[in-house]
């Protein structure tokens, strides 16, 4: 794998990129992360990702030991070391901050310094067929974490909930898992947010449904407003999903991917919808315009 890693400011290749087994990120999954991608070599919406990273940190009482400027400097240095950015290939950037290395105890006082790890590798788009034909997803039995447990608002390294949901979907041959919350409402996918289109209106579950507030989701609200597509938050039930005219998921690495089937239920016409396609086009145009000017 042509990846480069930055551990606490040190650049390392994949073979030498190792952390202590006493890191509480490894021992307990105690940590937070972000996934950023570049467009035309520029990290996209970087400051929004840093805002969410700090917010995730605050929710587990983990103070980031470095400034946003220093994280950005390390990210750019790691992209360059990976040989990406200048050759037209975009980068996948995973920024992780863990509680750090310490004695085997839940007491955070045992860990004097958080670990900051940045993994950079080539960005890989979802397969062209996913955009052209849409994908099948599965409504899985694993529920999204109750906000009173590990709140889905925290972009946490503790990903067992997401992994179990995703793996259930993979066993059914699905592209993604759709997860319900403890009330039975639709929450989100295991690695993405979910939207439906009904009667010309784009609808996605609210934060209260227990989900990660996606940066793509947030940006898409702005894009939709700009191009005059009505979009709002509303609680979604299973029946809303099955009865949708269109459906799609959003994430940093996959932008918008049309969903044409949920298990045996065909969504709308069974082909990617017109509004989904309009939003995807507008999203891509705006993303490239934005990186042309700045990362903000
Ligand atoms: C559980 C979950 N929801 C939503 C998202 C989408 O977030 P973003 O658009 O910021 O990538 C992700 C992305 O990894 C995720 O893991």
* pLDDT one digit per residue (tens) for the chain, 296 residues: 579 999 999 999 999 999 999 999 999 999 999 999 999 999 999 999 999 999 999 999 999 999 999 999 999 999 999 999 777 789 999 999 999 999 999 999 999 999 999 999 999 999 999 999 999 999 999 999 999 999 999 999 999 999 999 999 999 999 999 999 999 999 999 999 999 999 999 999 999 999 999 999 999 999 999 999 999 999 999 999 999 999 999 999 999 999 999 999 999 999 999 999 999 999 999 999 999 854 44
Asked if residue 159 has its Cβ within 6 Å of ligand 1, the reply is no
Do 155 and 249 lie in one domain? The reply is yes
What pTM was computed for the model? Answer: 0.97
Q: Are 137 and 10 in contact (CB under 8 A)?
A: no
For ligand 1, atom 4, the nearest C-alpha belongs to 192
Whether 118 and 132 share a structural domain = no
Which residues on neighbouring strands pair with residue 174, listed in sequence order? none
Q: Is 155 a catalytic residue?
A: yes
Same domain, yes or no, for 136 and 259? Answer: yes
Q: Whose CA is nearest to atom 15 of ligand 1?
A: 191
Is the shortest distance between the CB of 98 and ligand 1 below 6 Å?
no
pLDDT at 63: 96
Q: How many other CB atoms are there within 10 angstroms of residue 87's CB atom?
A: 8
Pick the catalytic residue from 121, 155, 172, 198. 155
C-alpha pair distances (Å), 113 with each of 20, 109, 286: 13, 10, 39
- Does the beta carbon of 162 sit less than 6 angstroms from any atom of ligand 1? yes
Which CATH number belongs to the domain containing residue 255 in this structure? 3.20.10.10
Identify the residue whose C-alpha is closest to ligand 1 atom 1: 191
Residue 85 confidence (pLDDT)? 74
Q: Which of 122, 157, 186 is the last residue of a domain?
A: 122
Domain end call among 85, 102, 122: 122
For atom 8 of ligand 1, the residue with the nearest CA is 214
Q: Residue 169: name the closest of 262, 254, 255 by CA.
A: 262
Cα(251)–Cα(198) distance, integer angstroms: 21
- Distance from Cα 283 to the centre of ligand 1, integer Å: 16
CATH number of the domain bearing residue 40? 3.30.470.10
CA atoms within 13 A on the CB side of 230: 6
| 241 shares a domain with 159 | yes
Instruction: Give me ligand 1 centre to Cα 35, in Å.
Output: 8
Taking the centre of ligand 1 as the mean of its atom positions, its distance from the CA of residue 193, in whole angstroms, is 6
Q: What is the number of domains present in the chain?
A: 2
Ligand 1 centre from 288 Cα, in Å?
20
The helix/strand/coil state of 279 is helix
Give the model's pLDDT for residue 86.
Answer: 74
* Nearest alpha-carbon partner for 97 in 68, 124, 77, 125: 68
**What backbone torsions phi and psi does residue 168 show, to the nearest 5 degrees?**
-60, -40
Give residue 134's domain range: 128-292
C-beta of 251 in contact with ligand 1 (< 6 A): yes
In the three-class reduction of DSSP (H, G, I as helix; E, B as strand; rest coil), residue 215 is classed as: helix
pLDDT at 295: 42
Burial of 15 per CB tally in 10 Å (0-12, 13-18, 19+):
exposed
Could you tell me if 143 and 216 lie in one domain? yes
Same domain (yes/no): 154, 235:
yes
Q: Residue 17 CB: number of other CB atoms within 10 A?
A: 16
């Amino acid at each position: 794998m042509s990846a480069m890693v930055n551990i606490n400011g040190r650049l390392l290749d994949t073979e030498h990129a190792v952390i202590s087994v006493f890191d509480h990120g490894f021992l307990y999954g105690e940590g937070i992360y972000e996934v950023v991608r570049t467009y035309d070599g520029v990290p996209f919406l970087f400051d929004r990702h840093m805002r969410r990273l700090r917010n995730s940190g605050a929710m587990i009482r983990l103070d980031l030991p470095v400034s946003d400027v220093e994280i950005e400097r390390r990210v750019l240095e790691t992209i360059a070391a990976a040989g990406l950015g200048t050759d037209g290939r975009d980068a996948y950037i995973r920024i992780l901050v863990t509680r750090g290395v310490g004695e085997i105890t839940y007491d955070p006082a045992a860990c004097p310094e958080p670990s900051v790890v940045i993994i950079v590798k080539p960005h890989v788009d979802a397969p062209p067929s996913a955009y052209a034909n849409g994908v099948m997803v599965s409504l899985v039995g694993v529920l999204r974490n109750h906000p009173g447990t590990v709140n889905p608002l925290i972009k946490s390294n503790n990903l067992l909930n997401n992994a179990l949901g995703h793996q259930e979907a993979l066993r059914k041959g699905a592209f993604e898992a759709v997860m319900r919350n403890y009330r039975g409402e639709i929450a989100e996918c295991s690695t993405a947010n979910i939207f439906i289109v009904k009667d010309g209106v784009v609808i996605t579950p609210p934060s209260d449904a227990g989900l990660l507030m996606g940066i793509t989701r947030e940006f898409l609200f702005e894009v939709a407003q700009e191009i005059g597509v009505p979009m709002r938050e509303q609680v979604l039930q299973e029946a809303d999903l099955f009865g949708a005219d269109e459906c799609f998921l959003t994430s940093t690495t996959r932008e918008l991917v049309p969903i044409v089937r949920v298990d045996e239920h065909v969504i709308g016409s069974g082909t990617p919808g017109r509004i989904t396609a309009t939003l995807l086009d507008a999203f891509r145009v705006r993303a490239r315009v934005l990186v042309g000017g700045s990362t903000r």
